[in-house]
Homo-oligomer: A and B are copies of this chain.
Amino acid sequence: MRIGQLAEATGTTTKTLRFYEESGLLPPAERLASGYRDYAEDAVGKVAFIHRGQAAGLTLAQIRQILKIREHGQTPCSHVQGLLGQRLGELDAQIAELLALRETIFQLHEKASKPEPDSCSSDQVCRYI
């Protein structure tokens, strides 16, 4: 399977696949006599895994760790569980932060809906922020 076919099969681009290989997410592909990359069938599963990992909000660095564990013949289960737990904590923190920010912006937006340009002193630039 050449790189274009793998890209097609996984809904990505050849550029991205080469980038994944260079970033250590995919093992260096076998080469044909021509120098073209020649992927085994399981490459499709690996790329699909990368996509699922991204959809789960994992970074490529985290996905790389999981793939490395698998490459070493181990099952990455407990590591994955740890990552998911960590990600959950990060998400909760991020959501809390955004909700607080949303409230702040909402207040500012309300205030700005009753404009009083004259009370904008130039040393504060804008009364509403």
Contacts and interface: CB of A to CB of B under 8 A. Distances in A.
A122 B84 CA distance: 20
A56 interface: yes
Given A99-B95, A101-B57, A117-B75, A109 B126 contact: no
Interface stretch (A9-17, A31-39, A46-54): A46-54
A98 interface: yes
B84 A91 contact: no
Interface in A68-109: 70, 75-78, 80-81, 84-85, 87-88, 91-92, 94-95, 98-99, 101-102, 104-106, 108-109
A126 to B, nearest CB: 5
Q: How many copies does the complex hold?
A: 2
Interface of A: 41-42, 45-46, 48-49, 52-53, 55-58, 66-67, 70, 75-78, 80-81, 84-85, 87-88, 91-92, 94-95, 98-99, 101-102, 104-106, 108-109, 112-113, 115, 117, 120, 122-129
